[in-house]
Amino acid sequence: MALWPVDSVRIERLDTGGWRVIRCLANAADVPIADFVSHADAREWVDWKLGRPNINRYAIGGDLAQLQLIDVAVEPRSSADGAKLETALSQLAAEDPAFTVSIDPQSGLRLLKGVSEAHLHAKIEALRWTHDIEVRVGSLQVAFRERITRLVEVAYSYRRRTVGWGPSVCLTIIVEPNDAGKGREFTSGIPADALPKPCLAGIEKGLVSALDAGVVAAFPVVDVKVRLVEALCHDVASSAYDLELAARAACHEALQKGHPVLLEPIMAVEVVSPERYAAAILSDLRRRNAQVERQDVWDQVIVVNATASLMNMFGYENVLRSTSEGRAAFTMCFDHYAPVSPPNDDPTFPSAMAMRGSQFTVSNSHQPGDVQRDAG
């Protein structure tokens, strides 16, 4: 098969419904190549024509290879399984860049991080069937984020108990929201010769520590600016570690005063189904508080485009299969983060949010692939 140049193809939505793949030629008019019912089908065909290797079939659409939106805690069922688990997980992580493993600092459990439910389910099944390891599986966790909504200035004084002549460190910082998607920014208004590099490094370490575990639910804080305004140190008693502790406490206080909000991942969802199942599919999406943005009918096939909270889409694959008798398909890709909606008095779906570090409910089921959810 002759491969195309990567920049020679584009995909456009048709006014009549569906998607068209168009070949872009340098010295001639663009040429329509093929039409598809869904964008996912068109994208898969284009990837094949472009010869892109190692396509992760568990990714839920879009460029999610490094965007891990879900994690789950696991622990071995026996000491024998525990001895093999570390090696098996290292091997699975080496084979798949979208899959990582970390240790939760508070619970000590291993956290498996991936791009979708199916992705993590496949890894757990691989542990069981390929590596012959039985594990207990905890609750699915959504990768929430936190963000402050207003500017705050905090002056903080820190003194070690062994110092008897007053505060050893005084810090003043300004913390404010950054533009969406800009991440974290740290600046210092103190001349470089006025603060030794080890002291500045200690301050930055303390700020990062506070931002990595926010004040709402201990999730990372994103899109935030921190400016160091003043840093006064006692010549004898102060140290980089004192500055680190002071910076952490000052940032923590600023986050509490900055009207923080919890952010959840919002997914772009595309469902392709025979038209006769449309009513049931749309009803289920509404129950999940999805916002239907477009419906296209094309040759007795309906394509529904919607946005929905990731935590409300847990278990959707099985529900859609049942609703459509196995004839519908869907794709999801990350769209943006948005503030978590206030809970309803009687929500249709239990919350998928478990406070990180507070608890990990471990299933006693003998099916390690059956991922459990907390009841609230």
Strands 184-188 and 224-233: parallel
At the top level of CATH, the class of 149-259 is alpha beta
Q: What is the percent of the chain where pLDDT is above 90?
A: 33
d(CA 314, CA 345): 20
Same fold for the pair 149-259 and 262-339:
no
CA distance linking residue 266 with residue 248, whole number of Å: 30
Domain at 262-339: CATH code: 3.30.70.240
Which has the closest alpha carbon to 131: 92, 78, 95, 99? 92
- In the chain, where are the structural domains located? 6-50, 58-144+353-376, 149-259, 262-339
Q: What is the pLDDT of residues 227-252, one digit of tens each?
A: 999 887 765 445 778 888 899 999 99
- Pairwise CA distance, residues 258 & 211, whole Å: 13
pTM over 0.85: no
What is d(CA 22, CA 202) in angstroms, rounded to the nearest whole number?
54
What is the average pLDDT score of the chain?
A: 79
User: Could you tell me which residues are beta bridge partners of residue 302?
Assistant: 273, 297
pLDDT for res 165: 54
User: In the structure encoding, which two tokens stand for residue 195, read together?
Assistant: 């603060």
Q: How many CB atoms lie within 10 A of CB 178?
A: 16
What lies within 8 Å, CB to CB, of 255 at 6+ separation is: 146, 148, 175, 210, 211, 214, 215, 221
Pairing state between β 169-177 and 152-158: antiparallel
Superfamily (CATH) of domain 58-144+353-376: Elongation Factor G (Translational Gtpase), domain 3 (3.30.70.870)
**What length is written for the chain?**
376
The pLDDT, as a whole number, for residue 73 is: 92
The residue type of 358 is S
Spans of the chain below 70 pLDDT: 1-8, 25-29, 48-66, 160-167, 234-238, 342-376
H or E element that contains 190: none
